[in-house]
């Protein structure tokens, strides 16, 4: 049977109310790409779960199909979220598909071009906040407590329900959970969802390596960060809403949450691209964490089966690449100029 989206495929395993009306863009079913060349360097069997191939270019679509399907079924007319960008684009797309109004609050000047463009293209009312993601999140929590507007951040439990499906898919492909799962951590909805998904699916449990950016690492530091900074703007978050659950997932899985520098993130992004997988900076944090842990000898990957979750597509944030390279060379439109540049 042709693929009909996540609620159709896994809805029986998701705790969604009876009023839920399936709103889908055929999200999920993303590839688990084998990375044999890179895996060889760690002596492990390495896979990338490429979530950038979801309809709006990030893993957020998994939770959004569930949150919007529930919201529209209960009669909501307007949805709202705070976002570092990907949630905004996803909420806008699914809300439009459901015929709902969407409002997204983003930190002024700190959202990557592809995400902002997406949110606008899909029809969201985009509001920039003179503050951080965390400030925006407090505001949307307040307005949804005081009005009928529905909250679609991952505080919304249906977001977590939807995002559990990524764990199900990995187990379906590998037959079992991997030994390790490495992924970026921002507001901590995704790590919470994966852990809930693996526990529910009963195909074994991975050890979980959650990775924050060093300038935005409240879960590593053990306290909130008031002015988070990182080139990986997707995870520029100082007060993760599901921080406690993220720490629990790391602890229960006998894994850990670590921080990596922006330089390590960009280096991991380059390595992934050299294997044909271009992801946005935040999405490279999982691999950056794996590399750092291995280099410090804290991690013996040999013989293990490891899944690195790449949460968003490189096209979301093209300026990270174009800003750091000189422009391509310009030549006259003739063969002599071309061959003299390229060489025989």
Binding site for ligand AN7 (CB under 6 A): 58, 60, 83-87, 154, 184-191, 234-235, 280, 282-283, 311-312
Q: Which is nearer to ligand AN7, 45 or 283 (CB)?
A: 283
Helix (H) or strand (E) holding 239: none
Which residue shows structure tokens 């944030």?
A: 317
Supply 116's token pair.
């902002």
Residue 232, Ramachandran bin (φ over 0: left; ψ between -120 and 50: alpha; else beta): beta
Are 279 and 272 in contact by the 8 Å Cβ rule? The answer is yes
Q: Which is nearer to ligand AN7, 45 or 282 (CB)?
A: 282
The least CB distance from residue 181 to ligand AN7, in Å, is 13
Q: Which is nearer to ligand AN7, 24 or 90 (CB)?
A: 90
Q: Which is nearer to ligand AN7, 24 or 311 (CB)?
A: 311
Q: Which is nearer to ligand AN7, 8 or 135 (CB)?
A: 135
The least CB distance from residue 274 to ligand AN7, in Å, is 20
Q: Which is nearer to ligand AN7, 188 or 306 (CB)?
A: 188
The least CB distance from residue 73 to ligand AN7, in Å, is 23
Which residue(s) pair with 180 in the sheet?
207, 306
The least CB distance from residue 74 to ligand AN7, in Å, is 23
Strands 305-310, 32-34: parallel, antiparallel or unpaired by DSSP? unpaired
How many residues belong to the chain? 344
Q: Which is nearer to ligand AN7, 5 or 52 (CB)?
A: 52
Say which residues have a Cβ less than 8 Å from residue 9's Cβ, sequence separation at least 6: 3, 28, 29, 165
What one-character DSSP code corresponds to residue 240? -
Closest C-alpha to 309, from 172, 196, 199, 169? 169
**5-to-22, 28, 61, 150 alpha-carbon distances in Å:** 9, 7, 10, 23
Measured in degrees and rounded to the nearest 5, phi and psi for residue 49 equal -90, 105
The least CB distance from residue 105 to ligand AN7, in Å, is 10
The least CB distance from residue 28 to ligand AN7, in Å, is 16
Q: Which is nearer to ligand AN7, 45 or 51 (CB)?
A: 51
**61-to-29, 160, 186, 248, 250 alpha-carbon distances in Å:** 11, 11, 16, 24, 24
Are 312 and 51 in contact by the 8 Å Cβ rule? The answer is yes
The least CB distance from residue 59 to ligand AN7, in Å, is 7
In angstroms, the CA 115 to CA 87 distance is 9
The least CB distance from residue 336 to ligand AN7, in Å, is 45
Longest alpha-carbon distance in the chain:
69
């Amino acid at each position: 049977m042709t693929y009909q989206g996540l609620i159709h495929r896994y809805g029986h395993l998701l705790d969604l109310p009876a009023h839920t009306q399936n709103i889908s863009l055929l999200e999920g079913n993303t590839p688990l790409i084998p990375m044999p060349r890179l895996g060889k360097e760690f002596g492990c069997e390495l896979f990338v779960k490429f979530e950038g191939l979801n309809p709006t270019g990030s893993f957020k679509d998994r939770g959004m199909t569930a949150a919007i399907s529930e919201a529209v079924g209960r009669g909501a007319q307007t949805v709202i979220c705070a976002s570092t960008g990907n949630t905004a684009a996803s909420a806008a797309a699914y809300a439009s598909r459901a015929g709902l109004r969407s409002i997204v609050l983003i930190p002024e000047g700190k959202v990557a071009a592809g995400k902002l463009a997406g949110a606008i293209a899909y029809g969201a009312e985009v509001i920039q906040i003179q503050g951080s993601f965390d400030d925006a999140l407090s505001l949307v929590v307040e307005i949804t407590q005081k009005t009928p507007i529905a909250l679609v951040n991952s505080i919304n439990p249906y977001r977590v329900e939807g995002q559990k499906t990524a764990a199900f898919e990995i187990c379906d492909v590998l037959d079992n959970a991997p030994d390790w799962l490495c992924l970026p951590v921002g507001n901590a909805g995704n790590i919470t969802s994966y852990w809930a998904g693996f526990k529910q699916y009963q195909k074994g449990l991975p050890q979980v390596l959650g990775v924050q950016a060093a300038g935005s690492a409240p879960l590593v530091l053990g306290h909130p960060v008031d002015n988070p900074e990182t080139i990986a703007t997707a995870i520029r978050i100082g007060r993760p809403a599901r921080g406690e659950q993220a720490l629990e997932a790391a602890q229960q899985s006998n894994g850990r949450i670590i921080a990596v520098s922006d330089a390590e993130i960009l280096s991991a992004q380059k390595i992934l691209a050299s294997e044909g997988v271009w992801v946005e900076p935040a999405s490279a944090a999982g691999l950056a964490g794996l590399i750092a842990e291995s280099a410090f000898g804290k991690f013996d990957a040999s013989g293990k089966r490891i899944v690195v979750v790449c949460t968003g597509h490189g096209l979301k944030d093209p300026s990270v690449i174009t800003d750091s390279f000189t422009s391509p060379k310009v030549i006259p439109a003739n063969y002599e100029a071309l061959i003299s540049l390229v060489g025989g």
